[in-house]
């Protein structure tokens, strides 16, 4: 009795409070969000979609073998370049301006990087390579830095002071952390494949090129053939992505992506000295003109864009969390045998490898335009990624021999043990979800990314740059907030242990 009355027993953990705070904020966002279901005859188009699935066909598609190779090559090189640069950045990540710069670079979706580099380099392979490598380097920097921060320093601390910096790193830090680096980099390779494929949407010669063409034309047999090919590529990753083979791949890849395009330095110079300079400045107008231009852009595009982006991503974030908690058991050894987990993996691979754009279109046919298809598409995609990561993490959890099974095992044994890790994954995903709201313009949801895309399509790079900068600032704020919350939660865990 005395125990129950004691307030300390009933005090909720910070994790609990943070979780409910986020759920509450998402519920509040639901009130402002435009969510509705209005549709009449989705079945004709959905019928065509399903009949395409029943008879996938490659006929009519040009050079698919080459597109697969290009997808692989861009992904390999982009991720490799990103990870090497990311490692160097990670070593100096404690410098505030490096952290800010990385958050800024991460804030821009790969597709927008590609659209920017298309302006500068045209279809030169550098466009695709940099569009992948830049945001990936920034992400690698952040995660590698955290791995370094949390890793075991005992070997490093006992080194002689005369030990060179490079030797110290390679002999005393890297060996302990190697496994973490490897696991994370392999995971990013899968992301890299997805990104590489999606870059085809804006004209790179990867799988997404034919996929978006087929999709835009309603050639669903081809769409499914390409998607299945892509699922297989992702699912078989662990069989062909061997550390010993990577140097071979990296040597072949440049030859695969090289083409006969050349870089014009006049174009590069023009991009920086004219294209992205605000038009009032270029026309020699006064500062008042510039301010009006900016204020107009901010009030009519940036502000509504920020609001829509935040509302959409907040709901998607919380729903992603809930769904991934439901999904992770399907690939966990704690719950299913080989066959069950196999099916679980198939489901998760399909969900996370189908471009959100296609998911959103299918849902748009079903429900009509509102935020709902956007939310569900984002949630399905991201929850299957987090579900995959949490599921893998749960495999390493050791339970007692007599641990309960079924729902009791899930609620009393697994959830408490994976929850911290789950929250960490979710907070990492926060900024990704914000970035991904960009590509759902088909739904009539005007996020920041929607306006950036419009500015690029209107060939107004000055506006696109301002909007991209605003997106980046938003991302820096979110990144800081997520870092702060994660630190607080970790602090509370340390106290609990004591």
Partner 1 sequence: MNTSIGALFNRTVVSLALVTSVILAPVQADDVKTLVFSAIPDQDESSLKARFGKVADYLSETLEIPVKYVPVKSYAASVTGFRNNQLQLAWFGGLSGVQARNLTPGSKAIAQGEEDPEFYTYFIAHHSTGLKPGEAFPKEIAGKRFTFGSKGSTSGRLMPEYHIRKNLGKSPEDSFSTVGFSGNHSRTVALVESGSYEVGAVNYKVWEKMVAEKKVDTDKVSLIWSTPGYPDYQWTIRGDVDATWGEGFSDKVQQALLDMKDPALLESFPRKRFIPASNEDFIAIEETAKAIGLLDE
Contact set for partner 1, span 107-166 (CB under 8 A): 115, 118-119, 122-123, 125-126, 129
Residue closer to partner 1, measured from CB, 16 or 178: 178
- Name residues contacting partner 1, limited to 435-474 (CB under 8 A): 441-444, 453-454, 456-460
Shortest Å distance, C-beta 449 to partner 1: 13
Q: Is 201 in the site for partner 1 (CB under 8 A)?
A: yes
Residue closer to partner 1, measured from CB, 150 or 296: 296
Q: Is 258 in the site for partner 1 (CB under 8 A)?
A: yes
Q: Is 218 in the site for partner 1 (CB under 8 A)?
A: yes
Shortest Å distance, C-beta 431 to partner 1: 25
One-character DSSP codes across 367-378:
H-SSHHHHHHHH
Q: Is 222 in the site for partner 1 (CB under 8 A)?
A: yes
Residue closer to partner 1, measured from CB, 372 or 485: 372
Task: Give the CA count within 13 Å in the CB-facing half-sphere of 103.
Answer: 25
Give the three-state DSSP class for 433. helix
- From the centroid of its chain, how far is CA 433? 7
Shortest Å distance, C-beta 287 to partner 1: 19
- The rounded distance, in Å, linking the Cα atoms of 477 and 76 is 31
For residue 81, the tally of other CB atoms under 10 A from its CB is 19
Task: Give the CA count within 13 Å in the CB-facing half-sphere of 470.
Answer: 24
Shortest Å distance, C-beta 188 to partner 1: 15
Q: Is 175 in the site for partner 1 (CB under 8 A)?
A: yes
Give residue 218's region: left, alpha or beta (phi > 0; psi -120 to 50): left
Residue closer to partner 1, measured from CB, 103 or 114: 114
Contact 155, 176 (CB under 8 A): yes
Shortest Å distance, C-beta 55 to partner 1: 17
Q: Is 305 in the site for partner 1 (CB under 8 A)?
A: no
Residue closer to partner 1, measured from CB, 37 or 232: 37
Q: Is 289 in the site for partner 1 (CB under 8 A)?
A: no
- What residue has token string 């409910």? 20
Contact 225, 56 (CB under 8 A): yes
Residue closer to partner 1, measured from CB, 364 or 476: 364
Shortest Å distance, C-beta 445 to partner 1: 9
- The rounded distance, in Å, linking the Cα atoms of 408 and 417 is 13
Which part of the chain contacts partner 1 (CB under 8 A), choosing from 213-221, 392-400, 403-411, 471-479?
213-221
Compute φ and ψ for 470, nearest 5 degrees.
-65, -45
Out of 257, 306, 418, 424, name the contact with partner 1 by CB under 8 A. 257
Out of 56, 151, 368, 420, name the contact with partner 1 by CB under 8 A. 368
CA 77 vs CA 80, 82, 137, 178, 226: distances in Å: 5, 8, 12, 20, 22
Q: Is 254 in the site for partner 1 (CB under 8 A)?
A: yes
Which part of the chain contacts partner 1 (CB under 8 A), choosing from 135-143, 149-157, 169-177, 471-479?
169-177
Q: Is 492 in the site for partner 1 (CB under 8 A)?
A: no
Shortest Å distance, C-beta 454 to partner 1: 6
Out of 139, 308, 354, 370, name the contact with partner 1 by CB under 8 A. 370
Give the three-state DSSP class for 405. coil
Interface with partner 1 (CB under 8 A), residue total: 74
Structure tokens at 467: 């909007």
Q: Evaluate the CA torsion angle 238, 152, 324, 134 in order and state its sign.
A: negative
Element (H, E) at 96: helix 96-106
Out of 2, 3, 38, 65, name the contact with partner 1 by CB under 8 A. 38
Q: Is 60 in the site for partner 1 (CB under 8 A)?
A: yes
Contact 418, 328 (CB under 8 A): yes
Contact 403, 275 (CB under 8 A): no
């Amino acid at each position: 009795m005395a125990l129950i009355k004691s307030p300390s027993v009933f005090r909720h953990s910070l994790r609990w409070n943070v979780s409910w705070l986020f759920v509450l904020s998402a519920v509040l966002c639901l009130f402002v969000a435009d969510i509705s279901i209005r549709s009449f005859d989705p079945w004709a188009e959905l019928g065509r979609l399903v009949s395409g699935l029943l008879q996938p066909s490659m006929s009519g598609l040009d050079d698919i073998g080459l597109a697969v190779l290009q997808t692989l090559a861009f992904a390999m090189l982009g991720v490799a370049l990103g990870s090497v640069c990311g490692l160097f950045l990670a070593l100096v990540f404690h410098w505030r301006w490096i952290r800010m710069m990385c958050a800024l670079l991460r804030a821009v979706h790969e597709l927008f990087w590609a659209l920017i580099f298309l302006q500068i380099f045209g279809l030169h392979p550098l466009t695709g390579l940099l569009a992948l490598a830049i945001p990936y380097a920034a992400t690698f920097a952040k995660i590698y830095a955290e791995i370094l921060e949390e890793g075991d320093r005992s070997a490093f601390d006992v080194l002689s002071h005369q030990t060179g910096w490079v030797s110290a790193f390679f002999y005393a830090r890297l060996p302990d952390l190697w496994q973490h680096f490897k696991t994370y980099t392999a995971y990013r390779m899968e992301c890299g494949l997805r990104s590489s494929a999606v870059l085809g949407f804006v004209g790179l010669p990867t799988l997404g090129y034919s996929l978006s063409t087929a999709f835009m034309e309603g050639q669903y047999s081809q769409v499914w053939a390409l998607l299945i090919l892509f699922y297989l590529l992702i699912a078989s990753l662990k069989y062909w992505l061997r550390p010993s083979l990577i140097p071979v791949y990296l040597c072949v890849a440049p030859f695969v992506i090289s083409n006969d395009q050349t870089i014009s330095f006049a174009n590069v110079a023009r991009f920086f000295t004219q294209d992205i300079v605000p038009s009032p400045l270029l026309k020699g107008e006064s500062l008042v003109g510039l301010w009006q231009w900016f204020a107009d852009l901010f009030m009519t595009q940036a502000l509504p864009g920020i609001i829509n982006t935040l509302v959409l991503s907040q709901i998607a974030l919380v729903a992603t969390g809930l769904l991934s908690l439901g999904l992770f058991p399907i690939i966990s050894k704690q719950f299913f045998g080989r066959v069950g987990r196999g099916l679980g993996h198939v489901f998760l691979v399909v969900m996370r490898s189908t471009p959100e754009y296609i998911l959103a279109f299918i849902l748009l046919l079903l429900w009509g335009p509102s935020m709902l298809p956007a939310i569900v598409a984002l949630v399905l995609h991201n929850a299957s990624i987090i579900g995959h990561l949490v599921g893998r993490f749960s495999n390493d959890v050791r339970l007692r021999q007599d641990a309960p099974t079924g729902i009791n095992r899930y609620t009393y044994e697994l959830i408490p043990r994976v929850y911290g890790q789950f929250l960490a994954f979710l907070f990492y995903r926060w900024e990704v979800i914000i970035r991904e709201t960009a590509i759902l313009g088909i739904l009539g949801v005007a996020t920041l990314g929607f306006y950036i895309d419009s500015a690029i399509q209107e060939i107004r790079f000055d506006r696109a740059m301002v909007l991209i900068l605003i997106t980046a600032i938003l991302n820096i704020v979110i990144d800081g907030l997520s870092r702060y919350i994660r630190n607080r939660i970790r602090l509370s865990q340390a106290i609990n242990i004591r």
